[in-house]
Amino acid sequence: MNYLDVYQSRLNHLGETVAERIRNGGSRSFEKWKAESPHTIRNLSVERRSKDKEYEKILFLHVSNNIPLLIGDIMTWTQDDGTDEKWIIVQEEKKVNGTYRSFWVIRCNYELKWIDEQGHLQKSWAYVVSSVDSKIKGNYRTWHNLK
């Protein structure tokens, strides 16, 4: 097999069209970068909750195309010290070539708890902005006759 045959074989392995070759080559490059990067986060788990559209203190999360994440999912990120942080996915970035997916994520700062109509305790992690934070504290003081 000569050099030209080897080259053509590699091209065909990536796809039949130029667009497929670009997308598949980009996906392979992303997977290699992800495997070798010291910034790759492992051991994330996901909970599905309602959407939160707050856009402050945002980080980007880059994942392979086959990772089934949705807007509103809550992720658990285990830190090096063993503590867990909750992060909510608020938006997906649109990609032209589609070699991987990118999301905007915000670290949750409150676990909201409430009693539903059937009397069951419900809870969900959320990101609450400071103006809402002040209102919650004010409501708490009012409910409990505090000054």
Are 121 and 51 in a shared domain? yes
Are 134 and 82 in a shared domain? yes
pLDDT at 54: 41
Are 34 and 46 in a shared domain? no
CA distance 95 to 4: 33
Cross-strand partners of 7 = none
Contact 94, 71 (CB under 8 A): no
Are 21 and 68 in a shared domain? no
Number of domains comprising the chain: 2
Domain membership of residue 61 as a residue range: 41-143
- What is the mean predicted confidence (pLDDT) over 109-125? 90
Are 92 and 139 in a shared domain? yes
The residue that leads in pLDDT, 3 or 54, is 3
pLDDT at 118: 93
Are 29 and 45 in a shared domain? no
Are 86 and 26 in a shared domain? no
